[in-house]
Amino acid sequence: MTTALEQAIQLVLSGDDQLVNIISVTLQMSIPSSVISLLLGVPLGVLLAFCSFRGKEVLVILNRTLMGLPPVVCGLLCYMLFSGVGPFRHFRLMYTIPLMVIAQVILITPIVIGNMESFAQRITPAVRETAHGLGLGRGRIFLLLISETRYQVFSTYLLGFARSIAEVGAVSMVGGAIAYKTNVMTTAIMNYTNRGDFTLGVALGIILLAMSLVLNLTVSLIQGRLSR
């Protein structure tokens, strides 16, 4: 009896070109979107914790609200902006990987910011005290703070990547799940399920989990090195 696990292994071993394409599209989307979100979110999050100014609370609350932005709402927004009649139609990005990345950056950046902000908030007083003792300027203190959060950056990255790889609402809307072009793991699972092909859906799910496992192991290895 061919179980989903066997089918998953068979699929991987056979190097089925559609599967290879789905995995490659998934990575072409997830890696840029998680990295861009990290590059935007880490400095912004730490800055938000580091600086004190009027209206900061408002920004924090706004960001926390955006952390809960439903992916389908984000997808709808991007769809309306970039569709053939939308204001950004001239970019011709509808149903392309770059638009999927844009939608995911909108989704993930607030999560990165929120995560970094709440972590940096906790260590800022201690870092500030040390830095004052050493007589460092504001710029140096900020850099020191960033370097103190590096351990957190990895787990935040994993969070962002997990969100990106697991997300289906926004990417199916702006990507259109076009075979060999914008079909990622999650939209492919949806497609197979819609077709009543559950075994293949579960097989893809197992592969998705396995990919996540490999990434997590790699990152925790690097993280372990760094914290030593």
Partner 1 sequence: MKHNKLTALLLALAMVLALAACSNNQGQTQQSPSASPETSEPMETPAETPAEGVDLTILFEQDDDMLNTYSLLAVNPDAPFVDADGNAVSDVYVNTEGAAALINWMLSQEALDLAGNYGYEEYGEYLFYVLDDAPVSTAEIPAATEDTAVIRMSTTTSVNDSGLLGYLLPFFEEEYGYTVDVTSAGTGAAIANATYGNADLILVHSKSQEESFVADGYSYVLDGFEAERLPFLYNYFVLCGPSDDPAGVRDAATVKNAFALIAEGEYPFVSRGDASGTHTKEISLWPEELGITTEADSVADYAGWYNYSNAGMGVCLTMAEEMHAYILSDKATYLTFRANNGVME
Angle at Cα 45 formed by Cα 228 and Cα 128, nearest 5°? 65
**Residues with Cβ within 8 Å of residue 176, at least 6 apart in sequence:** 94, 95, 182
For residue 1, the tally of other CB atoms under 10 A from its CB is 3
> Residue 21 is inside which H or E element, if any?
helix 17-50
| Cβ proximity to partner 1, 42 vs 215, nearer residue | 215
* Binding-site ranges for partner 1 (CB under 8 A): 1-5, 8, 79-80, 83-87, 89, 92, 94-95, 176-179, 181, 191, 193-199, 202-203, 205-206, 209-210, 213, 216-217, 220, 224
Residue 96 CB, shortest distance to partner 1, in Å, is: 9
| Cβ proximity to partner 1, 73 vs 126, nearer residue | 73
Q: Which two tokens stand for residue 38?
A: 């990290």
Residue 27 CB, shortest distance to partner 1, in Å, is: 20
| Cβ proximity to partner 1, 59 vs 95, nearer residue | 95
| Cβ proximity to partner 1, 42 vs 81, nearer residue | 81
Angle at Cα 67 formed by Cα 66 and Cα 70, nearest 5°? 80
Q: How far apart are CA 141 and CA 118, in angstroms?
A: 18
- Of 20, 35, 34, the closest CA to residue 180 belongs to 20
| Cβ proximity to partner 1, 134 vs 178, nearer residue | 178
Residue 68 CB, shortest distance to partner 1, in Å, is: 23
Residue 16 CB, shortest distance to partner 1, in Å, is: 14
Residue 64 CB, shortest distance to partner 1, in Å, is: 28
